[in-house]
Structure 1
Amino acid sequence: MTATAAQPLLAAAFGLLGLLASPLTEVLIARSLPRLGGLPSPIVRITTAAVTGALFVLLTLRFGFSPTLPAYLLLAALAVQLSRLDVMHHLLPNPLVLALLAAGLGLLTMSAALAPDWSGLLRAAAGAVILFLGYLILGLISPGGIGMGDVKLAAPLGMYLGYLGWSHVFYGGLLGFVVGGVMTVLVLRLKRGIKPSEVAHGPAMFAAAIGVVLLLA
């Protein structure tokens, strides 16, 4: 079987892995962070599993069976869960953001060693610092629009984007605000009376970053 013919089967296998990884991740989060109220409702769990599985398929098609793939699968799994928590609780828990940063750095370091791509790892570190500082400045200027959770999240996202290239950092950071603005308008139209500051920005940051990862070569 050729590599091209095997790729859909590989993507399907990792999609199934995503379906299984999502509920397992939710159990781990519920046990380690009981203050968040335990497991979400069955409909939410089905939705998060479906989204995680779909992202695993798309990322497998994007990277193939490469040393880079595990890092971005981790990004997808935690992106779905952190987005869920941000929407439900307006909170991006520090332990999960730190896990995304630390575990992601470890997996990207492994990828850089196997590829090898040490320049990509240095660029990832620089991307983390640049996007973090950019969000920090905006957060200090407009604390009502950007929360400190969003500022902290910018570091791991900048790392993942930076590993792929400077254009990924630029477009991922920029589109985060564009997607966030569109989502805010939609939420305000659907839920009258809600304040713009109450709209979760984390999902927009993840959507922009993963979209750039998938679509920008």
Structure 2
Amino acid sequence: MTATAAQPLLVAAFGLLGLLTSPLAELLITWSMPRLGGLPSPAIRFTTAVATAVLFALMTLRFGLSPALPAYLLLSVLAVQLSRVDIAHHLLPNPLVLVLLASGLGLLTMSAVLVPDWPGLLRAAAGGVILFLGYLILGLISPGGLGMGDVKLSAPLGMYLGYLGWTHVFYGGLLGFVVGGVVTVLMLRLKRGTKPSEVAHGPAMFAAAIGVALLVA
């Protein structure tokens, strides 16, 4: 079978993996963090499973069977779950953010060893620090606009973007605020919130980072 013929099967296989990974992730989150309540409704679970499957397929198209793929699959499943929790509870739980950071760093280190790509790993570390400091400064200046959960989330996102390049860090960090602003305006116009601080910023950060990772060469 040719590589061209095998690619749709590979993408479909990883999409199915994402479909199965999502409910498992929700079970683990519910078991380890009971304070978040029980499992989400069937409609939400279906939505998160489909979203995870789509992201797994897109990441497979973007990275192929490269050593970096596992790291970005982890980003995909946790992006969906953290976005779900943030929308429902306006909370980005520290344990999940820490898993994204520590496990992501481990997987990116493995990728850097196998490729090898040590400059990429150093850039990932620097990207995480730079984006974290930028968000921290903004969070201290305008605590009503950014929560500390958003500040902490910027570290792993900067790391993932930094591994791909400095351009990714720049656009990923910038577009996070752009997407967040657009979502805030839309939510307020739909009268689903009464002030900007009620709109979860985590999903916008994930959308910008994943969009840049997928689309920027």
With the length of structure 2 as denominator, give the TM-score of the two structures. 0.99
Q: Give the whole-Å Cα distance in 2 for the aligned partners of 1:174 and 1:167.
A: 11
Inter-partner Cα distance in structure 1 for 2:208 and 2:24: 25
Q: Which residue of 2 aligns with 1:78?
A: 78
Gaps of 5+ in 2: none
Moved more, 2-11 or 20-29: 2-11
RMSD over equivalenced CA pairs, Å? 0.7
Aligned to 1:97: 97
Residue identity opposite 1:48 in structure 2: T
Counterpart position of 2:8: 8
Equivalence map 1:10-159=2 (5 Å): 10-159=10-159
Which aligned segments of 4 or more residues in structure 1 are displaced greater than 4 angstroms? none
Tell me how far 1:176 sits from its aligned partner: 0.2
Between the aligned partners of 2:192 and 2:99, the Cα distance in structure 1 is: 36
Structure 2 CA distance for partners of 1:10 and 1:193, relative to 1, 3 Å: closer
Q: Distance between the aligned counterparts of 2:193 and 2:132, measured in 1?
A: 31
Amino acid at match of 2:203: P
User: 1:3: Cα distance to partner?
Assistant: 1.5
Please tell me the residue identity of whatever aligns with 1:183. Answer: V
Give the distance between the partners of 2:151 and 2:93, measured in 1 at CA.
12
How far has the Cα of 1:9 moved from its partner?
A: 0.6
Residue type of the alignment partner of 2:46: I
* Number of aligned residue pairs: 217
CA–CA separation in structure 1 for the residues paired with 2:52 and 2:193 = 32
> What is the identity, as a one-letter code, of the residue corresponding to 2:161?
L
Q: Structure 1: where are the runs of 5+ without partners? A: none
Percent of aligned positions that are identical = 83
Q: 2:37 and 2:216 mapped to 1: Cα distance?
A: 38
